[in-house]
Chains A and B, each alone.
Chain A
């Protein structure tokens, strides 16, 4: 199946710093990438949808100035958590949709801990 990678797999940072998470589709072109947030024992919460070359569409309640998304190419999207605070600590997962298939493939996730 299609492979999606995420980097880093985990990160610990101080409150007030910014953190960038990368999501790459390794063996296919992803016209659309999605960013999710997941709290322990809960389902996936969609944060935003990004299409290559255009601005991301954010879900209601997600601050676009805090969670900056860039989808610069068909294989790379980045999520930057700006001025991170402890309440931003969570598991962030990206997924990518292959152009020709109506399926979504997930990355392995990034565990963010803000001290």
Chain B
């Protein structure tokens, strides 16, 4: 199936720094989701976006639905050690029955 390009692949940052990652697709999507996965666990939904240009926050996390509808961004402000994990984006379009396609993941390491 289709896979989304996510970058960067991995990040090593100091505690307190801000983090930015993005996800791009060759297709237009009408829904973008961002998940976080801790080791040995299933992904947990962080933010859902439904409209081009939409900017949504969840605590220190902010995600945006790109106006081209082919990309999305996730920002984490003032990172803390528990932000460590793998972040996945997912996009869906009615053209494929609203099936979600997942990004390749961004591995985040926060150094205390």
Contact = CB atoms under 8 A, between A and B. Distances in A.
Given A102-B92, A103-B33, A44 B102 contact: yes
Residues of B in contact with A, size category:
20 to 34
Contact of B40 (A42, A104, A109): A109
A83 B41 CA distance: 25
Nearest to B44: A106
Contacts, number: 48
Nearest to A111: B40
B30 to A, nearest CB: 8
B42 A103 contact: no
B41 A1 contact: no
A42 B88 CA distance: 11
Contact of A43 (B41, B44, B50, B102): B102
A104 B99 CA distance: 10
A49 interface: yes
Q: Which A-B residue pairs are the 9 nearest by beta carbons?
A: A106-B42, A109-B42, A108-B42, A106-B43, A102-B31, A93-B42, A43-B104, A44-B102, A43-B105
Interface of A: 1, 4, 6, 41-44, 46, 49, 59, 91, 93, 95, 102-109, 111
